[in-house]
Amino acid sequence: MTTFPADAPAPLREARERIHARNAGLPTFLQAVDEVFADLAPLVAQQPDLVAHALLDRLAEPERVLTFRVPWTDDAGRVHVQRGYRVQFNGALGPYKGGLRFHPSVTLDTVTFLAFEQTFKNALTGLPLGSGKGGADFDPKGRSDAEVMRFAQSFMTELHRHLGDDVDVPAGDVGVGAREIGYLFGQYKRLAGRFEAGVLTGKPPAWAGLAGRASATGYGLAYFAERMMDARGGTLEGRTCVVSGAGNVARYAARKLAAFGAHVVACSDSTGRVHDPAGLDVDLLDAVKDERREGLAAYADARPGATFTADATVWDVPCDAAFPCATENELDAGDAKALIAHGVTLVAEGANMPCTPGAVDAFREAGVAYGPGKAANAGGVATSGLEMRQNARFETWTEDRTDEGLRDVMAHVHAACTEAARRIGRPGDLAAGANVAGFERVAGAMHDQGVV
Ligand code: NDP
């Protein structure tokens, strides 16, 4: 349920009002809070003990918010100043864990909302992971490797004192891939004076990274969608799919969906959309986006039969299944209606909160199977948890071992959401199930640990 119910139990309503009053400048964070709290109404009514000791207020208040200056020098010798952030949101289940985003749109609102979502996602994995998120309003696009390195080093010079393999363990997100993680790790190692492998995840497998981590969010999304289809007595084979974005999550999702026999016919980036009725050539996408660092028009130029439309989304391309994998609030109620009109039966989120509340309502009303990001994209952080385990044990895992772990976690997440949804009388509602199951695990740990 995305619209906050007027008849919600009083403790829930009052906590929500206090949280709104305290965070008026953080609209995306408040959107995420409302979305979770709306689904807690039946739970709070049944178990008032769960909200004792201001548990709801504490759950929506980050343990620590860090903002810091990040000065760096470009190749021409000009000095720039960015703002860095780290929100250490909830440490009840383990060290703070969540990615870093380098993108010009990053604000305190962005990282607070992402860290809040991460709390429930990490709880759903069943692993001992607290939650955090961070980043900076730095745009790596068009910057040389040397500029990205200088920025990353400056960022880590400030952040390193707040990290540690049992304190806070960042990873990648938008704009932070293997290159950035490498520079960040190198600077951490220099400042700490030791090779603390588990302090960052998403490292290249050639040195302390986990084979299979890079593909985990996208592959996990496809595994989750497979379970959603199965729950309705179907499979992904032969289904026409669209993904938005053309980054890490979108491309690995497209690869695994194709391996399941689906036809992935469209993707997008910040310049526009590609429609490729023959099925996306993901190797070509890798070359265009990673090696040449170009927009999707270059894909269409190189691929007969594919068309590029500037400033367009993928949501009006007819499909059976849609996978938003770009960014928050990228799919609104109008887009949802277009997808529904074309007969979409499944929507699973690779990105964090890509569907607006109006879009989620539209999918629910139309009976579309809807997999929320905090469940469907949990494969990335879960596999980061496996990378921490590999590092702690001084081991080197194979990709097959990682994939087996990923499949297990996605099955666990799907089962936990399904079970919780059934228990609160909303069978099949994976979003409600994710919110309730995630809440119960974190709230239980917070309750046990007292007022901290
Ligand atoms: P990347 O930076 O690798 O890719 C993001 C892609 O989305 C890029 O292709 C970018 O275009 C595109 N994009 C950004 N904004 C828009 C827009 N408004 N319309 C269309 N395309 C857009 O990021 P990731 O793939 O890592 O992350 C994508 C999403 O998945 C984010 O919400 C992230 O938080 C979430 N996520 C990522 C995880 C991970 O392991 N990486 C884990 C869990 C969630 P362009 O190339 O032009 O910039």
Digit-coded pLDDT (tens) for 232-271: 999 999 999 999 999 999 999 999 999 999 999 999 999 9
Which of the 8 DSSP states describes residue 4? P
Question: Relative to the CA of 352, which ligand 1 atom is closest?
Answer: 32
Cα of 173 vs centre of ligand 1, distance in Å, is: 8
**Based on the domain organization, do 333 and 367 belong to the same domain?**
yes
Backbone φ and ψ for 344, nearest 5 degrees, come out as -60, 140
Q: Residues of the chain with pLDDT > 70: what percent?
A: 99
Cα of 445 vs centre of ligand 1, distance in Å, is: 32
Residue 428 lies inside a defined structural domain of this protein: no
CA–CA separation, 96 and 118 (whole Å): 10
Strand partners, 100: 134
Digit-coded pLDDT (tens) for 110-145: 999 999 999 999 999 999 999 999 999 999 999 999
Of the three residues 346, 376, 406, the one that is the final residue of a domain is 376
Cα of 217 vs centre of ligand 1, distance in Å, is: 11
- Single-letter code of the amino acid located at 1: M
In this predicted structure, the answer to whether residue 213 has a pLDDT above a threshold of 80 is yes
Q: 220 with 379: CB under 8 angstroms?
A: yes
Q: 330 with 324: CB under 8 angstroms?
A: yes
**Based on the domain organization, do 126 and 89 belong to the same domain?**
yes
Q: 274 with 266: CB under 8 angstroms?
A: yes
Q: Which domain holds residue 236?
A: 216-376
Tell me how long the chain is.
Answer: 452
Tell the residue nearest (CA) to atom 33 of ligand 1: 351
Predicted local distance difference test score (pLDDT) of residue 415: 98
CA–CA separation, 34 and 3 (whole Å): 8
Question: Relative to the CA of 171, which ligand 1 atom is closest?
Answer: 40
Mean pLDDT across 354-367: 97
Give 2's pLDDT tier (boundaries 50, 70, 90).
low
CA–CA separation, 92 and 81 (whole Å): 34
**Based on the domain organization, do 322 and 268 belong to the same domain?**
yes
**Based on the domain organization, do 53 and 74 belong to the same domain?**
no
CA–CA separation, 275 and 319 (whole Å): 12
Digit-coded pLDDT (tens) for 383-418: 999 999 999 999 999 999 999 999 999 999 999 999
**Based on the domain organization, do 159 and 269 belong to the same domain?**
no
**Based on the domain organization, do 235 and 343 belong to the same domain?**
yes
Ligand 1, CB cutoff 6 Å, lining residues: 172-175, 217, 244-250, 268-271, 289, 325-327, 330, 350-352, 377, 380
Active site residues: 133
Which of the 8 DSSP states describes residue 2? -
The whole-model pTM stands at: 0.97
In this predicted structure, the answer to whether residue 227 has a pLDDT above a threshold of 80 is yes
Tell the residue nearest (CA) to atom 47 of ligand 1: 270
In this predicted structure, the answer to whether residue 370 has a pLDDT above a threshold of 90 is yes
Give 53's pLDDT tier (boundaries 50, 70, 90).
confident
Which of the 8 DSSP states describes residue 247? S
Cα of 201 vs centre of ligand 1, distance in Å, is: 18
